[in-house]
Amino acid sequence: MRPSLSGPGRQLAAAVAGLLLLTACSSGGDGTGASGAGKPVQGGTLTAAVDTEPVSWDIHASTQDITAEIQRQVFDSLVSQDAAGKFHPWLATKWEISDDYRTYTFHLRKDVRFSDGTRFDAAAVKANFDHIVAKSTKSLYAISLLGPYTGTQVVDAYTAKVTFSKPFAPFLQAASTTYLGFYSPKALKANAGKLAAGGAADVGSGPFVFSGYTKGQSAVLTRNPKYAWGPATAAHTGPAHLDKLVFRFLPTASVRAGALTSGQVQVAKAIPPQNVTTVKATPGLSLISRRNPGGNYNLWLNGSLAPLDDQRVRKAVQRGIDIDQDVKTVTFGQYPRAWSPISPTTPDYDKSLEGSWPYDPKLSAQLLDEAGWTGRDAQGYRTRNGKRLTITWPQLSIQATREGRDVLGQAIQADLNKIGVEVKRPNLDLGSYNTEVYGGKANVIDLSWPRFSPDVLWLFLNSGSAPAKGGINATFIKDTDFDKWTDEGRATLDEKVHADVYPKVQQRAIDLAVVVPLYTQVSLVGESSTVKGLTFSPSNWLTYYDAWLVAK
């Protein structure tokens, strides 16, 4: 057995529905980076503005990072993860991992209670993990974090053995996330069908209790006075310092920024790049800027569908976009241009890719000529055998304006038009979008997927992650090397193996031109000087357990 690393075929329709918020999924542990210093003050209400409202509050079913971020305050996990990627005790005091990474044995705390009084024990671990994989749950992301899960054995009241059919080394990182957090077994039994609604149905063991929700406006969390089991990565272990947390849903960027500068909220997520200067110049405010780990904001090219089934055409598209200029202009220089499908803050990022595939419209023209697209029609678009070179890149109407991605899309269209490629961007509702994109009918999909693990590359490129299987591999190709290397990566925690296979995956993705990395997402958070102790997870989710307020 390995010692603890710490101290003391769903159907396609169901699969794609969970992927509806393509740019809002993530997975990360807790407890890195605190803002402020001094002796914490008890009490007070902190109001935070967020840019997205959860479609579902069910941590076991939702794919949204906003669900996981807010619900982190309500739900605990087996382990916590620090900024260096190391794991530490939380609800589990210690654990053992089998040499083949198929069995994880957790020894649990004996003093944990859910907010309804139910005790946390090995039976609760089993009830929650079994709930995630149950067909009735319709889990859309948490189930992927359980990988090849075969079951949980209750060894004794406070020992749980979790088993997998194949080696699954990323499990500890997955187990640090909200998505694999724990509901009270009593609540699961009584309210399994109501978890998406949040509120009273949400019963966790965390430092806050979900006490109120007004759809379209706000969610209210109140302090759990009996909480005494904070993660080892936190600054304290008792009840939260704040009496109450209020999350206001303000999707309009200018309104969200205005709420911060006017003092209506003390924290604001997703400050728009154009408002960064104003926030920095406002007395009593500061801006926190942190690069997200995991998948960058990328264009994924469908290699199974013409005309992008031709690698030369994919490469022409990849090299025909002036990414440096487009990203700099649209994000006001706040988001760095990307070179790899994963960000520089992700473990095993391949820095050698930086600068290796610059904008080169002359190369694009040469490749398109080689591919036979040598004709031109009246509008100047390339043709072959009388057919125009056209690619389809749908946009989801409810998310089109996020981070100015609609404007960036227009710039990319203009770039590709210059090399003779027509880009159609139909604006689709959710149902049509899912059918088109995850049914493999679109040429291009834009997607980001923050996660503090290089295993995100398995989700992007392994054939086992095909949309028909509930995955997100939008390349729609089966590549032997991608499968081999990403399978090898998730079969071990050996750093030498990771340092070998994951850079090769990144390099091959660029070489095959199945991806066009655009930019690394940056968490731009505005914060009042009255807020202290705000922390971030490794995936840049805000956590409020250690937060407190000083008097104005």
Cα angle for residues 399, 400, 401 (degrees, 5° grid): 95
* Average pLDDT of span 47-75: 93
Q: Count of CB atoms within 10 A of residue 141's CB?
A: 27
Q: What is the mean pLDDT of residues 115-135?
A: 97
Encode pLDDT of 324-374 as tens digits: 999 999 999 999 999 999 999 999 999 999 999 999 999 999 999 999 999
pLDDT at 37: 60
Kindly state the average pLDDT of the residues 259-278: 93
Structure confidence by residue, pLDDT tens digits, 66-77 = 999 999 999 999
Round the average pLDDT of the chain to a whole number and report it: 90
User: Is the pLDDT score of 321 beyond 80?
Assistant: yes
What does the pLDDT average to over 287-303? 94
pLDDT reported for residue 36: 53
- Convert the pLDDT of each residue in 474-505 to its tens digit: 999 999 999 999 999 999 999 999 999 999 99
Contact 462, 514 (CB under 8 A): no
> Does residue 9 register a pLDDT over 80?
no
**Predicted pLDDT at 448:** 87
SS3 (DSSP) at 24: coil
Q: Is the pLDDT reported for residue 131 higher than 50? A: yes
pLDDT digits (tens, 9 = 90+) for 210-224: 999 999 999 999 999
Residue 468: what are its φ and ψ, rounded to 5°?
Answer: -65, -20
Strands 159-164 and 208-214 come out as unpaired
Question: Which residues, 6 or more positions from 428, have their beta carbon under 8 angstroms from its beta carbon?
Answer: 394, 395, 396, 397, 436
Residues 6+ apart with CB under 8 A from 37: 532
Residue 35 has pLDDT above 70, yes or no: no
Structure tokens at 87: 């794991």
Is the pLDDT at 26 greater than 50? The verdict is no
HEC string for 101-127: CCEEEEEECCCCECCCCCECCHHHHHH
